[in-house]
């Protein structure tokens, strides 16, 4: 693990003089959700994953987060590590960060990979659901919140067929503290809408979505891909919201095809 001056937990593998891919995890997970991608791509790429402030091994601080602040953290990583045109790959909340980072400074990036995410900001019902999440954490703790939330993230069969993978990711998400988890809920509720930037994206873009994703369903992601010039869309079979973990074979193959064309 390398940490940089803002105390984020950052993990680097692979060859530094190769194309860099930065993997940004979803909520309420940590960098380990990308293990199957980092293991697969580290031979030919420089792979960076990190824990978003307040989750995994990154300290929570005061929990006063915004997606803008998360983008500042990402830009700090790029600057500190002197990364040249990294490809950015974000899932769900990681996708909100990636998309807003590209909107703020597209020149920094060589490619964009968006997984199980969306460009729209939370509507009123979405904000109320975040508020209920915070209430649930206050009443019952992060563990109970994570048990309920993570179960909705995977396809029904995944829990039965891949018990170990499921409980590993669930148990890791239970370990983040309440300050960090609630801070992320508030940051997501307050995020901006990036839809109007989609037609302006010039860098190559790949969008992937689990066919059984109920949180950011395939029709939402297909509509998003339609708005981005030359974007590729891949539907990942036998997967819900955590497509890189639930069907890493199809996911990695699609990524590989995209990355080798850059």
92 touches ligand MLT by CB under 6 A: yes
Least Å from the CB of residue 37 to ligand MLT: 16
Cβ-based nearer residue to ligand MLT, 83 or 215: 215
Q: Which of 23, 27, 145, 197 binds ligand MLT (CB under 6 A)?
A: 27
Taking the C-alpha atoms of residue 84 and residue 35, their distance in angstroms, rounded to an integer, is 23
Q: In angstroms, how far is CA 90 from the centroid of its own chain?
A: 4
Cβ(12)–Cβ(220) under 8 Å? no
Closest distance to ligand MLT from the beta carbon of 188 (Å): 5
Q: Which of residues 184-223 bind ligand MLT (CB under 6 A)?
A: 188, 215
CB within 8 Å of 259: residues ≥ 6 apart: 19, 21, 41, 45, 87, 111
Pick between residue 26 and residue 56 the one whose CB is nearest to ligand MLT: 26
CB 149 to ligand MLT: min, Å = 8
Question: Which run of H or E residues covers position 2?
Answer: strand 2-3
Nearer to ligand MLT, 215 or 235 (CB): 215
- Parallel, antiparallel or unpaired: strands 205-210 and 46-50: unpaired
Q: Of 92 and 248, which has the nearer Cβ to ligand MLT?
A: 92
Nearer to ligand MLT, 89 or 93 (CB): 93
Cβ atoms of 231 and 222 within 8 Å: the answer is: no
Q: How far is the CB of 230 from ligand MLT (least distance, A)?
A: 26
**Which own/partner pairs from 193-200 qualify as long-range (CB within 8 Å, at least 24 positions apart)?**
193/119, 193/120, 193/121, 194/96, 194/99, 194/100, 194/103, 194/119, 195/119, 195/120, 195/227, 197/99, 197/102, 197/103, 197/119, 198/119, 198/224, 198/227, 198/228, 199/227, 199/228, 199/229
Quick check: 180 binds ligand MLT (CB under 6 A)? no
- 90 near ligand MLT, rule: CB under 6 A: no
Q: Does 93 bind ligand MLT (CB under 6 A)?
A: yes
Counting contacts by CB under 6 A, is residue 26 touching ligand MLT? yes
Min. distance of Cβ 14 from ligand MLT in angstroms? 25
Tell the smallest beta-carbon distance from residue 145 to ligand MLT (Å).
12
Which spans of this chain sit near ligand MLT (rule: CB under 6 A)?
Answer: 26-27, 92-93, 188, 215, 241
């Amino acid at each position: 693990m390398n940490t940089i001056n803002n105390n984020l937990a950052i993990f680097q593998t692979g060859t530094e003089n190769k194309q860099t891919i930065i993997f940004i995890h979803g909520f309420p997970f940590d960098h380990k959700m990308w293990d199957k991608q980092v293991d697969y791509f580290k031979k030919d790429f420089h792979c960076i994953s990190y824990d978003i402030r307040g989750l995994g091994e990154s300290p929570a601080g005061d929990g006063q987060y915004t997606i803008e602040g998360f983008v500042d953290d990402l830009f700090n990583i790029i600057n500190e590590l002197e990364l040249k045109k990294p490809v950015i790959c974000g899932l769900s909340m990681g996708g909100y960060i990636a998309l807003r980072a590209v909107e703020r400074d597209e020149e920094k990036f060589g490619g964009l990979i968006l997984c199980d995410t969306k460009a729209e900001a939370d509507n009123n019902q979405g904000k109320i659901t975040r508020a209920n999440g915070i209430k649930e954490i206050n009443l019952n703790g992060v563990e109970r919140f994570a048990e309920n939330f993570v179960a909705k993230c995977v396809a029904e069969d995944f829990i039965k067929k891949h018990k170990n993978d499921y409980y590993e990711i669930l148990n890791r998400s239970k370990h983040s503290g309440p300050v960090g988890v609630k801070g992320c809920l508030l940051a997501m509720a307050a995020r901006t809408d990036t839809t109007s930037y989609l037609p302006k994206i010039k860098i190559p873009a790949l969008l992937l979505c689990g066919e059984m994703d109920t949180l950011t369903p395939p029709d939402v992601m297909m509509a998003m891909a339609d708005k981005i010039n030359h974007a590729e869309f891949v539907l990942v079979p036998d997967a819900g919201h955590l497509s890189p973990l639930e069907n890493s074979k199809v996911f990695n193959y699609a990524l590989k095809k995209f990355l080798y064309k850059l």
